[in-house]
Homo-oligomer: A and B are copies of this chain.
């Protein structure tokens, strides 16, 4: 009984996600479905890749992860399955799979060419339904990846902006803003934090949790993804600090 997770930018207003689930359960009746998010910002491949990277490690081994943030649907980008040490990633070759794939350990990358697994005829506009959902169902049902198409050498790799070490300072940036307005950085928790700076804000040291800060005040924590996050207790750091993805963050460690 495989778990199949779904990560898309389809939203939940239209029936797109329900249709994908119908396709999966029609072909793999015992699959268990888990929504990771369908509100990835439209066409934002980096956000989708980050969401997937941080969700995948909590799923049991052998899970199948559908990720359809696919502005190039119907174009030249290849449909892929990445078999990793912990499960299967299925989606377009535009980078959305690459962060999760790297973390999990890539065993092989398959170009999905075996159309007998697809819905027929496949549309040019909804590969989530016609290509990726039926392939996920096949994997959930035990189909081996080598039946799905030829192995290929590489895939589009997405780069998360890297962190620069500058003396005792770490220079990174905000890479994701969650629905609470928490500002997630690309900086893994260092062993010692003296000060965190973002724009005009200076935060002294790390708190263990949001509740260590006064209500309304910015606080820096190691968040549930294991990286430095700037939050405002019972408020929005995004709103209070006027910050957004790409803004530089500096951590002084001495």
Interface residues in chain A, defined as those with a beta carbon under 8 Å from any beta carbon in chain B: 1, 3, 5, 7, 10-19, 21-23, 25-26, 29, 32, 34-39, 42-43, 51, 54-55, 58-60, 63, 71-76, 123-126, 129-130, 178-180, 207-212, 221-224, 229, 233-234
Contact = CB atoms under 8 A, between A and B. Distances in A.
B43 A179 contact: no
B14 A58 contact: no
Given A3-B22, A14-B179, A43-B234, 14 more contacts: A1-B29, A5-B18, A12-B12, A15-B36, A15-B37, A22-B55, A23-B58, A71-B234, A73-B211, A76-B211, A124-B208, A124-B222, A125-B209, A125-B210
Contact of A34 (B5, B22, B59, B210): B22
A13 B26 contact: no
28 contacts: A3-B22, A7-B15, A13-B37, A13-B178, A14-B37, A14-B179, A15-B36, A15-B37, A15-B55, A16-B178, A18-B35, A18-B55, A25-B60, A43-B234, A71-B211, A72-B211, A74-B209, A74-B212, A75-B211, A123-B223, A123-B224, A124-B208, A125-B209, A125-B210, A125-B222, A126-B223, A126-B224, A129-B224
B180 A42 contact: yes
A39 B12 contact: yes
Kindly report how many copies of this chain are found in the complex they form together: 3
Contacts of A59: 22, 26
A12 B25 contact: no
A74 B124 contact: no
A15 B53 CA distance: 10
A54 B23 CA distance: 13
A58 B60 CA distance: 28
Contacts of A130: 224
Nearest to A74: B209
A12 B13 CA distance: 11
